[in-house]
Each structure stands twice: as structure tokens, then as C-alpha cells.
Amino acid sequence: MHILILGGDGYLGWPTAMYFSNRGHDVTVVDNYFRRNACTELDVGMLYPVPTLLERARIWHELTGREIKVVIGDLKDPEIIRSFFNGRVSYQWAVNQGFTGIPATVIHYAEQPSAPYSLINYKYANITVANNLLITNNLVWALRDFSRDTHVIHIGTMGEYGTPNIDIPEGWIEIEHKGRKDKFLFPRHASSLYHTTKIMDTDLLWFGVRMWDLRVTDLMQGPVYGMETEDSAIDNRLMTLFNYDEIFGTIVNRFVTQAVVGYPLTVYGKGGQTRGYLNINDTLQCVHISENTPAKKGELRIFNQIMETFSVNELAEMTRRVGAKLGYEVEINHLENPRKESEEHYYNPTYQGLIEIGVKPHYLTDDVMEGMFQVVANYQSNIRKDVIFKGIKW
């Protein structure tokens, strides 16, 4: 199967590329180094240096004999995405330069993924809106024009639903109004501009499904933690990007890094904010199972991609407990919340769909977090305290 990964250099994109390549798929990745360039521009650093995408593909080939084809390009340019479907693609790195055929699956990670980034100021807001919406729209049109049968796996976000005071289903809700019933996308209430663009993405994809019978799986993912996967274990140079700064770092990765470097844990506000979490290895599993059981023609299939829920306070307590076991004295600090979000709320999402089709969850246990402490501790001298909290306000 030919699998095309949009955003193949990112935190999830590169591990996904290795995962499918290792399972014998023909994998092509495309990326414009948005994340790396943004980290350089904003001077937020990363835990360890990561070879370029071209270098990583070469290393992967040397170590495994397998090939991940690479295209460096900006998917906001419609011609780049169309080139994968009309046979005009030109690879920057590939052993076999020939056209690999139309992708059976496209995994779409090519998004500006940070809520704080989208709210730095109007310029970053515009970058987020332009990047996320144009890429999704370009993808929809390329499929409409050349390959309506290709299955799209899009990474959505649980943040599209927000934190409503009612249970959250997997994507859809049946509403009875004045004696009549119909099924709709569950009402959405994003609490950042980034999350709002993901709602708009879902709408673009849903339009493509209704108009042109596209096949789409939208995975509503919660914050992901971890950095090691089975495939990266063969060589440190294959490890994925790891951010711990306020802009691109997600909470579990940040808390472990803060604990290791002796920075008081940055709990925003009361810390009752509850979200659904998942291990990076479960992202790979969920995407793989979705690829194996594609959405039907004219179907927008939505799964909630989380394995368990935690409040910020629970994560801080766990970090303190695991840190103490390893000899770190971890302090917890409640900062004034720079974000506009509910700090105490009802949260009851459904997340059975992926488990029903075969996903076996990895949970965030003390042992799993201890493993993360050990990896982060290896790079302790690289950690910059000045990027941990600057207070980007909503």
C-alpha cells in the first residue's frame, strides 16, 4: 500500500512514517519544516537535536534497508499536493525515484498544532488559519479531481468539542426538535484559535464527503505524551522532535522536563482542567487500525482518540510522586492561567470506538512516566529554563 504522510517531519509524522515503513508499506512523507523553523524563529529550543527529514530517511534506509520517500514542500501550494495524485511528484530523497502510484491512504498531520502559537498575535493567528485551512482544502480538491477512493485519516482534536456540560459522543449527535429527529456533528466550542481551525477542517472534510463521496476518518485526539517508539529504539537519531517549551510542548512532556530541571510545575489556574490523554505509541496504533479498516465512500467516520482522562492537578501529583521516587524534589506552582478555559468542569467523553476495532491502550502509569524521566534526564544539560513559561495570554 502506498501511504502518504502530510507533515511527516513532525512529532507524530515521523514516528508514523517509520511505523508504516517497518510494516512493509510504501511510504512518502512531505513537510516544509514549519515546526523546526517556528522553533528557531521563536527561539524555544528542543530537548535534543534531530537530523533533518532527508537525513532521517537516509539513516532509516541504512539501518533497515527500507525506503521512506521525502518531499520537502509547502502544502499550501496546491500543485505540491496534486503532484502526488497526478504522477508529477519529484522526490528530494528516494532510492527509487519512480512514481509510486496513487496513495491508498493519506495521513494528514500537516497542521500548525499549538494553541498558544495561534494566539501570540494577529500574525501567528493568520499563519495558523492560512496553513491549516488551505492545506485541508488543497487535499480535498486534489482528491475530488484525481482520487476519490483514497482514504483520508485526519488528526482532529478533542478540543473541538471543548468542555460541554453534557457527555461527549464520538463525533455525532441525534437531535430531536419539535417532534422531528436528525443527526448532526456534535456542537463544537473551541477554546483557542488553533482548535477553531480544526473545527473548520472537519467542516471542509465533511463538505468533501457530502459533495464528492470522499472517505474520511477524523481522529479526535487528546494531548499526546512520550517520545520513544519501537522503531526509534534502534538508533537515537530516529527519535522524534521533543518540545518542552510553553508554545509547542504538551503538558505531560513539559511536567517531566520541569521536574528533571527543578522548575516548579506550571499548573495553570486551579488545575481542574480535564483532558483525554494518550501515549505516542497509541497514536500509531490508532492510525494503523484506522488505515486497516477504512471509512466507506461518502462516510465521515469520527473516533475520539484518547485512552484515559486526567486533570492537570492529577498529572502534577503523579509527576511529583514519580519524581520523588527517583530522587527529584518536585514543587507544584499554581500560576495565574494565561488561557481562557474552564478550570473546573464536567468532562465525560466516549472513547470506545477505537478499542472496539482492536486498539489495545497503553496507560500512563508511574512506570511509564518513570521511563520518560530517564530519557529526559539524559539530556538535562540541554534544558533551557527561560523557555518554560513566558505567559502567552489569550
Encoded one letter per residue, x for contact with ligand USQ by CB under 6 A and - for no contact, window 337-366 reads --x-x-------------------------
Whole-angstrom CA distances from 339 to 77, 189, 192 are: 33, 15, 8
Taking the complex as a whole, the smallest distance from the CB of residue 353 to ligand USQ amounts, in Å, to 16
Residue number closest to ligand USQ, CB atom: 159
Instruction: Establish whether 309 is a catalytic residue.
Output: no
Q: DSSP assignment of 28-77, as one string?
A: EEEE--HHHHHHHHHT---SS----HHHHHHHHHHHHS--EEEEE--TTS
- The nearest distance, CB 244 to ligand USQ, in angstroms, is 9
- For 302, counting Cβ atoms within 10 Å of its Cβ (0-12 exposed, 13-18 middle, 19+ buried), the class is buried
Residue with smaller CB distance to ligand USQ, 148 or 345? 345
CA distance to 136, 307, 369, per residue, from 363 (Å): 31, 7, 10
| Residue pair 205/152 in contact by the 8 Å Cβ criterion | yes
Least distance in Å: CB of 173 to ligand USQ? 18
Amino acid at 273: Q
Strand pairing report for 265-268 and 180-185: unpaired
3-class SS letters over 15-37: HHHHHHHHCCCEEEEEECCHHHH
**Active-site residue, 157 included:** yes
* Shortest Cβ 157–ligand USQ spacing (Å): 3
- Do residues 266 and 260 make contact, with C-beta atoms less than 8 angstroms apart? no
285/354 Cα distance (integer angstroms)? 9
Neighbours of 285 (CB within 10 A): 20
- Within 41-100, the residues that bind ligand USQ by CB under 6 A are none
Site stretch for ligand USQ (CB under 6 A), options 135-143, 267-275, 294-302, 378-386: 267-275
Shortest Å, Cβ 14 to ligand USQ: 16
Decide if residue 251 touches ligand USQ (CB under 6 A): yes
Q: Is the Cβ of residue 77 or residue 203 nearer to ligand USQ in the bound state?
A: 203
**Annotated catalytic residue within 105, 157, 250, 274:** 157
- The DSSP-derived string for 306-355 is -SEEEEHHHHHHHHHHHHHHTT----EEEEPPSS-S-SS----B---HHH
Q: 26 or 282: whose CB is closer to ligand USQ?
A: 282
Nearer to ligand USQ, 113 or 294 (CB): 113
Choice between 188 and 339, CB closer to ligand USQ: 339
Half-sphere exposure of 289 (CA within 13 A, CB side): 17
Least distance between ligand USQ and beta carbon 367 (Å): 21
x/- binding map, residues 308-327, to ligand USQ, per CB under 6 A?
----x---------------
Residues between 209 and 228 with contacts to ligand USQ, criterion CB under 6 A: 221-223
CB 252 within 8 A of CB 279: no
**Given 69, 128, 150, 198, the catalytic residue:** 198
Question: Is residue 4 within 8 Å of residue 28, measured between CB atoms?
Answer: yes
Rank residues 71 and 306 by Cβ distance to ligand USQ and give the closer one.
306
- Smallest gap from Cβ 334 to ligand USQ, in A, equals 9
Tell me how far CA of residue 115 lies from CA of 121, 160, 198, 307, 315, in angstroms: 12, 12, 11, 22, 20
Quick check: 304 binds ligand USQ (CB under 6 A)?
A: no
Rule CB under 6 A: which of 135-164 touch ligand USQ? 157-159
Structure letter (DSSP) for residue 200: H
**Minimum Å distance from CB 225 to ligand USQ?**
9
Pick the closest to residue 227 from 378, 90, 338 (CA basis): 378
* 131 DSSP 8-state letter: H
From 19, 91, 117, 194, the catalytic residue? 194
- Kindly state the helix (H) or strand (E) to which residue 136 belongs, with its residue range: helix 122-146
Q: Which of 13-21, 41-49, 246-254, 283-291 is the region at the interface with ligand USQ (rule: CB under 6 A)? A: 246-254
Per-residue x/- mask for ligand USQ, residues 102 to 141, rule CB under 6 A?
-----------xxx--------------------------
Which residues of this chain interact with ligand USQ, rule CB under 6 A?
113-115, 157-159, 195, 221-223, 250-251, 254, 266-268, 273, 275, 312, 339, 341
Q: Which residues are catalytic?
A: 157, 194, 198
